[in-house]
Structure 1
Amino acid sequence: MNIIEELEWRDAINQQTDAEGLKELTNEKSISLYCGVDPTGDSMHIGHLIPFMVLKRFQLAGHRPVILIGGATGTIGDPSGRQSERSLQTLEEIQANVDALTAQLKKLFLTEGDNQMRMVNNYDWTHKINVIEFLRDYGKNFSINTMLAKDVVSSRLDSGISFTEFSYQILQSLDYLHLYQHEDVQLQIGGSDQWGNITSGLDLIRKKEGSEAKAFGLTIPLMLKADGTKFGKTAGGAIWLDPDKTTPFEFYQFWANTDDRDVVKYLKYFTFLTKERIDELAQKVETEPHKREAQITLAEEMTRFVHSEELLAQAKRITAALFSGDIKSLTADEIEQGFKEMPTFEATKEAKNIVDWLVDLGIVKSKRQAREDITNGAISMNGERISDVGLEVSEEHAIGGRFIIIRKGKKNYSLVKMS
């Protein structure tokens, strides 16, 4: 299966500038291609992963991907998909983000071998161009009328767009020209909102290199969940790749809780499973949806890819402990991950009667209610039911000396931090 045919099967193509020409080129030889990301933050989220997973598929098919970090374009701000101006970051903030994203992308995508991905930073060639060269050598090749007609600009004309953001497409076009000339790059890929920037780059290449220059553009569809909401967003915010922002357990749970209507699509987009295996899982969704085999497979594949086999095992261990109630089997660090979003209270390490302790923390409203709940077996501590109203709670009860987990009833968990 040709790489373009595979992407079509995975429903991973939105637009192409020359579908037949690109398929023919990728059949003929191994090509270089690129995808970029601007350092607007110190971590990517799962929405950023989509074009890079396509880049990885090209690599596995024998092609030569280039990852571009927008150290220059990040100082300007891409107006794509926005209705207002970005707040410009300082150069120091941008550099810190460049360093963080570079480390993240290297960990995910750069492997040893002959077909290794390359990484470049567009600041390396852009900062050498002075304003006169920019206007004469590049600006002269762009028609204001054409730029205004691009969706990314036309959608902002009512609310306003600065010259800074207006010029973004010129800088991104310059990137494609530079990579075409110096890295033999013949394909740029990006999200559907990058179509205007990609076609601007192709226009510049043909004006500079001739109309017969073989260069192509491909975009990936905008991903929405089955309920119409934006992919990758939850009530708690974005799902980050940085484990300090989204823990591996939270990351695993996001994928494990995928709607049946979305799971096959995500398996195609995000995993490197074979067509046969995905078809098999799709059948399981239809015939045995209660087993959630497709969701569990998706969660395992993604957590292993983004984090590691070790952190996948940890996420599954936390999941199993929460399901079974075997809280004591977890370490303090695993407790912190698994109960991060649950109601949290702070207690001192001095010993205190369980009834007073529960009321003083606010877990139970009154001493009468606390005694009644304990007597009825409705209170569990670290997975063990409490029946003694005279119990003295102390630091000795804390897992790792740090946390006590209280469960009231069947589902009401509270995390108590010992301070």
Structure 2
Amino acid sequence: MIGIDFGTSNTAVATASGEVLRIDHGDALFRTVLFYPEDSPETLAGSEAIERYQDDNAGRFIQSMKTWLPSQSFTRTQLRERTLSLEELIAVFLRKVGEAVKQQGHTTEAVVLGRPARFSTDPKVDAFAEARLLKAAQLAGFGAVRFLIEPIAAALAYEASLKRDEVVLVADFGAGTSDLTVMRLGPRHRAQPDRSGDVIASGGVYVGGDRFDAAIMKQKLFPHFGAGSTYLPALGAKRMTMPTYVSSRLLSWNEMSLIREKKTRELIDLMLRSSDRKPAIEALHDLVMYNLGFRLYRAIEAAKVRLSTSTKTTLDFEEERISIHETITRAEFETASAHLIDELEACTDEVLSRVPAGLRVDSVFLTGGSSHVPAVRRLFARKFGEERLRTADAFTSVVEGLGRAAPMNFAAS
């Protein structure tokens, strides 16, 4: 029995004892990516996919597969000679994870698989997304599969350290979503096979690490790729501003490939000939045509992480005709991402509104990468007081809880 946290950016596996397996060449985090090289029939996943992609980016690099689960518009994609459904694509990745698990002497015959508190606010879409993930797990060769909401899994990991019963708000910040759950935890509840009765309220919002990264891109890097520049659409015509649909696709690594479509490529060629900021359009061209989006967003993410402990950092990125040396202050980052904090606060207030009057939240457990963002922590400190905030390993709390939940989930069946 194992628990698997299939994440937007990273995937992890834990045993029933809560031990996190090091499944990617000694690393506990298995990057949720696939790479299909053009010159080879093999399919690579995790760190191997990243290394090959960075050495020679000729091929298809696929990430953030989880974010497409609620999307009914994403049905199939062409890879080499095959057309794969999203379920088949995710199954390719999960099969790679399963192979790594088996190499460590464990099986995928009984799996507790994490899922967000909400794939969608629409119950039908939410059920559709879960059904797709279940089908992917089955196609990957997993045996019995049970789902557990990720913030509840994080709560179970935190519960292992409690010496007394508490009412806890668990906030799990992923790359794609932030999920919140208010739950009764502690020694008296720990042995219960069904914990659904301990959940007081839960909710989620599409505020995650990816959107914090996008905020930096929009606030600080858009000008480097031609945002606001002008060009001549035809001889004798008035100059036009670069369409916002081009720059907006830079906000999501997944959407950058859409700029390579014929119509947009032709527009970039036109802008290269007549732009008032030709070096920026050259940078845009190379970013898209040389598939450099993943590397750029790795640099953005690294700068964001540094801003958690420093008030100022420099983002350096030199590739092809792209030359970026941009100073970013924490204050600038917080201004750029203020709308995300507002969305997160609104979600928190909505969840708390469903907690019975008079019931006190004893502690707040923050986990996930964005729990380190100072503005996120300040939000919860302002609402509950710094003394009630708790943290643990930001990236493995969920999977530890999924693993610990496995015996109870399968015993209950």
- TM-score of the alignment, normalized to the shorter chain, above 0.5: no
TM-score using structure 2 length: 0.23
Of structures 1 and 2, the one with the larger relative CO (CA 8 A, separation 6+) is 2
The structure with more radius of gyration:
1
TM-score using structure 1 length: 0.23
| Larger strand percent | 2
